[in-house]
Amino acid sequence: MVLNPVISKLSGKLVVLASSSPRRLEILTNAGLRFEVVPSWFKETLNKSLFKAPHQYAVETAMQKALEVARRMPFKHLKTPDIVIGADTIVTIDGLILEKPVDKQDAYRMLSRLSGKEHSVCTGVAIVLCHQQENEEIDYQTIDFYEETKVKFADLSETMLWDYIDSGEPMDKAGGYGIQALGGMLVEYIHGDFLNVVGFPLNHFCKQLDLIFNQEPISNDVKRKDGQSAPDDNTLSKCSEGQKNVLAVASAVPPVTSRGPMNLPYVIENVHTDDLKRIIELMDGFKASKALFTASKMRVFDLLQKRPGLDGAEVARALEASLKGTVCLLEACVSLGLLERKQGANQEGVYENTRLAQRFLMSDSPSSLLGYMEHCDELVWNLFSHLESSVREGTNQHAKVSGQTTTPTTTTTNDLFQDILYSRDAQKLRFMKAMHSIAGVAGPAVIAAFDLSRFKTACDLGGCTGSMAHGLAKAYPGLSVTVFDLPSVVELSGAFCPPGLDNRVSFVAGDFFKDQLPKADLYILARILHDWTDEKVHVLLSNISDACAPGCGLLVSEIFLDRDGRGPSRGLLQALSMSEGKQRSAGEYTALLEGHGFTVTHIAHTDTLLDVLLCIKDGPVA
């Protein structure tokens, strides 16, 4: 495919790339295309579950990027582009979409998943042709396609993975690697377009330009790669709803003569738009959290599960809330991907839960997080409202939040747990519901991380409601599990026990810092160690070590920080609560456990809330 005939057709036209990707810029520049760069402001928050195939998600994201720039430029930049190009590259494996990693640990999860396996790289491309009419209204004609390339990774060692991650290269690349640079050492083979893996399918793009400018005028007979007709009236978007859809023949688009230098792509002043978007997202993050907490507390999602397709007025009546406030809350939830708005029979917008809401925000869902959200809303939110004081003083602000000037001394727990676990039952139950919901969501990945079938008895220390214990008993029919927790917790645990497993799950009251621990082959510490001072951690691990015979196991589940302590952000944000304890990396936990006679045999970074490691007590096994 020779691009020169196409380039000549584009001469004198304002071509815009709706992306700040340096790789796409380089590919198109090397092909001889002259263009401006206007990064899109479109937030890439499309609900992936709504797309039947991953490439459809990439194509739609590319289209929204291009349309956002095409619509913005006449008003913000006072010029109308002739052609806007949008693109989005994703990596997929086993139907899962991998985009850019958010931190090193996320990059590790992605690359570990790709190790030794074949995956797909899909780039969706959208071309928007803009035609300015005499009345200054604009018609937009859209063409889209996608390219897929198969890539096979070699089996990657831990050392190679971390060396590559520490290079910094994975952080701005879909799937966590760049095939054109150091990431090429990970690749065993590819089938398809190499430049597609880099970020833009140049060959397919040239064929589309040839079809547009050197062949017949665009008609409804043009076929997309996915087999759908393109473009028809339904693919056209325009500024004025009252204006008739008109297919703009590309050759008839008037040239734009006022623009930047044509010898190089002209990068406009918005080159740092992605940085601005990120800052604004961080600034507005608390608003999204409060909207989620409020909708959950008002049981919006339960209501729409029982009665899907209600309009705003019907939801307001059911919630006994104002119409204005209810609609604002519903629309905010739509923007967050928690609700969908559809057109009802009476032309009014009606609302339904998304899959995300159905899975995590329903009271009766096995993966419901409502208990933890209530805890965050009622307690954690207030703690973090005093974050400046926490930072200045280096102390937890629970006493200030609760209005207490002194704290109880009837137990060995820290102030936060003293107040909660020796408070009235309502507050205690709220805390237990939070721990129960977290264990219900994170527990399955922890339980499935390693083969635990060789253990016959287990003891879950600080196991709260027994959610983890019941999950273990269900996964391993030959395993009996004891939950060891404070008397005030054990007395309320019956409200959370599922039927059918009680004969293999038992509860024992005690204090794991002072009392003798029940005998077991496997001990479990899930979300325990990070809460306590080094002194108390050593006391607890000494107690476990004394109770363990050689060959016994200890399963530790926490958020593991990266080796350099710079992530994941969830662990570092949790540390801001200023509890007595601290967050640690897997290496730090390993050193801690080795000091108490354990050898770490397995470490797993799960895709859920918690990571996990398994260690074995040293010494000859009887």
CA–CA distance, 102 with 171 (Å, rounded to integer):
7
Token readout for 458 is 């287990």
Q: In what order do the strands lie in the sheet with 480-485?
A: 505-509, 480-485, 457-461, 522-526, 553-558, 611-617, 598-604
Structure tokens at 475: 């996964």
Q: Based on the residue annotation, tell me whether 88 is a catalytic residue of this protein.
A: yes
Cα 530 to Cα 559: distance, rounded to the nearest angstrom: 9
d(CA 282, CA 102): 13
What are residue 478's DSSP bridge partners? Answer: none
- The angle at the Cα of 568, spanning 567 to 571, to the nearest 5 degrees, equals 100
Q: What's the residue count for the chain?
A: 622
- Torsion sign over Cα 368, 373, 375, 380: positive
Burial of 503 (0-12, 13-18, 19+ CB in 10 A): exposed
DSSP string covering 23-79: HHHHHHHHTT---EE----------GGG-SSHHHHHHHHHHHHHHHHHHHIIIIIS-
Of the candidates 609, 523, 520, the one whose C-alpha atom is nearest the C-alpha of residue 571 is 609
Pinpoint the alpha helices (H) of 336-483: 355-360, 370-375, 381-384, 387-393, 398-402, 415-421, 425-448, 467-475
Would residue 349 be called left, alpha or beta, if left means φ above 0 and alpha means ψ between -120 and 50 degrees? beta
Cα-to-chain-centroid distance, residue 519: 40
Q: Where are the beta strands (DSSP E) in 212-286?
A: 237-238, 266-267
Three-class SS state of 6? helix
Q: Which residues contact 488 (CB under 8 A, 6 or more apart)?
A: 421, 422, 428
d(CA 199, CA 122): 9
- DSSP label of 405: S
- Integer Cα distance of 446 and 556 in angstroms: 9
For strands 266-267 and 237-238, give the pairing: unpaired
Q: What end-to-end distance do the CA atoms of the chain give, in Å?
A: 73
Identify the CA nearest to 296 among candidates 339, 335, 264.
339
DSSP state at residue 175: G
For residues 559 and 571, the answer to whether their CB atoms sit within 8 Å is yes
Active-site residue among 88, 144, 193, 531?
Answer: 88
What stretch of H or E contains 335? helix 323-335
Q: How far apart are CA 411 and CA 589, in angstroms?
A: 26
User: What residues are annotated to the active site?
Assistant: 88
